[in-house]
Amino acid sequence: MFENLSIKIEQAFRKLKGEGRITDINVAETLKEIRRALVDADVNFKVAKELTDKIRESAMGQNVLIAVSPGQLLTKIVYDELTALMGGRNEGITFSSKPPSIILIAGLQGSGKTTFSGKLASMLKKQGKNPLLVAGDVYRPAAIEQLTVLGDSIGVAVYKEPESKDPIAIAKNSITFAKQNLKDVIIIDTAGRLAVDDEMMNEIESVKKAVSPNEILFVVDSMTGQDAVNTAKAFNDRLDFHGVVLTKLDGDTRGGAAISIRNVVEKPIKFISTGEKMEAIDKFHPERMASRILGMGDVVSLVEKAQKEFDQDESERMQKKLRQNQFDFDDFLKQLNTVKKMGNMKDLLGMIPGLGKQIKDVDIEDDSFKHIEAVILSMTKKERQNPALIDGSRRKRIADGSGTSIQEVNQLLKQFQEMRKMMKTMNKLSSKGMSVKNMPQLRGK
């Protein structure tokens, strides 16, 4: 997401290289390029123009500070204005002071409502809630089955009435069920509908009136580009929803909807969704998104993802093994599996400052570690715990068993040994009380 926009904005900033001061002349061409880049990324033209006008007002005549170039100063101004445009800060879900809280999910056909409902239930469950999913889509074939499968996969109950064709009655009955079973959050999945379909829009308005939801989330496929903004406006006119969810941000999308939608409907983007995995959901943070658009990475989100998946006790145990040079292939495999749970690999690497544009054209599959796992799993338990046992004949057996070559097995063993040596060296230096500032060779001297 935003790869092309990031590159074009970076190119626009280059026009200020070598300048000592931001002036009307040298900033005009830069802002023209930024506006063009925004429109190309499906940002509403009016929104793009208003944004660049604000940037111009903030930038004009500012003296460039010592050690800060005009390009760097303008980057900071663009970052601030982008953040403000997308809402300034994350806005969470409004829960009822008296459970159960009711969340109504609305959106077009195929926007990803059912999958998002499952993801949201999974997220809330991890936060200590006891959610209930409600199968309110009575029209789409297999919609009830899809929600049931998702609920089973995350351990969340699903309320359904397979024989009923009345979504209003289903929604009302689910509240009674939730109270009887001590569920504190109800997530109602509804049928997809077209904004121009009065009958279907009247129906979801009736569902809203019947259950008085604490939160209405409008789910929109970000790949629909500018149409996403127009659709959001049409739904908001009828439902007055509380927040927006952008789905399919891992697809071939230009991302402009994220920048435009807040400004047009004056409702916050609350969540973004990527991929099919239940973990592929994030709260929307305008400041972090602005950072990623400008190619500055998003380390905070990366750390939060890691903290969600890495168990504290397990991390301390792993550190102890590293200090004692006892880190083995079983430990390595555990670490790989934990990293995989964090989400899309290319998306994760793109959060590292400066790395996003370097991997822009690199195809990084989610199963990139599959051959490494196959090699490790083809080892015996003794071999995983003591790699020194793996001689020539064992390497051939491991290669045959994993469907890889002896060269690939040798490469993995070599990399693993080098990693252990590095850890051993770092532990020795640490035990001697040495630090980087006392080591000239590590400071480039």
| Amino acid at residue number 351 | M
| pLDDT tens sequence across 238-268 | 889 999 998 877 655 556 766 777 888 888 8
Res 50 pLDDT > 80 = yes
Give the Cβ contact number of residue 262 at 10 Å: 23
* pLDDT at res. 437: 40
Q: Which tokens go with 7?
A: 């590159």
Q: State how far the Cα of 274 lies from the Cα of 352, in Å rounded to an integer.
A: 18
At a CB cut-off of 8 Å and minimum separation 6, what does 166 contact?
A: 138
Which residue's structure tokens are 């009247």?
202
CA-based end-to-end distance of the chain: 40
* pLDDT at res. 65: 44
Q: Whose CA is closest to 377, among 350, 353, 409, 346?
A: 409
* pLDDT at res. 139: 87
Q: In the predicted model, what is the mean pLDDT of the chain?
A: 77
Is-contact 115 150, C-beta < 8 A? yes
Q: Strand, coil or helix: what is 195?
A: coil
Q: What mean pLDDT do residues 323-343 have?
A: 73
| Amino acid at residue number 3 | E
Q: Strand, coil or helix: what is 162?
A: coil
| Amino acid at residue number 199 | E
Res 442 pLDDT > 80 = no
Which domains are assigned to the chain? Answer: 3-85 (1.20.120.140), 101-283 (3.40.50.300), 314-443 (1.10.260.30)
| pLDDT tens sequence across 385-418 | 888 899 999 999 999 999 989 998 998 888 788 7
At a CB cut-off of 8 Å and minimum separation 6, what does 429 contact?
A: 439
Q: Which tokens go with 348?
A: 């994760």
Is-contact 246 285, C-beta < 8 A? no
Q: Which DSSP category does 21 fall into?
A: B
Q: Strand, coil or helix: what is 189?
A: strand
Res 299 pLDDT > 80 = no
Q: State how far the Cα of 84 lies from the Cα of 290, in Å rounded to an integer.
A: 9
Res 55 pLDDT > 50 = yes
Res 303 pLDDT > 70 = no
Separation in Å, CA 223 to CA 42, 55, 99: 10, 27, 35
* pLDDT at res. 332: 79
* pLDDT at res. 358: 47
Answer with the residue of higher pLDDT: 236 or 109.
Answer: 236
Is-contact 139 224, C-beta < 8 A? no
Indicate the pLDDT class of residue 108, thresholds 50, 70 and 90.
confident
Which residue's structure tokens are 């994350």?
90
Question: 212: alpha, beta or left, given left = phi > 0 and alpha = psi -120 to 50?
Answer: left
pTM score > 0.75 for this model? no
* pLDDT at res. 7: 66
Q: State how far the Cα of 170 lies from the Cα of 203, in Å rounded to an integer.
A: 13
| pLDDT tens sequence across 144-183 | 999 999 999 999 999 999 888 899 999 999 999 999 999 9
Indicate the pLDDT class of residue 197, thresholds 50, 70 and 90.
confident
Res 441 pLDDT > 50 = no
Res 237 pLDDT > 60 = yes
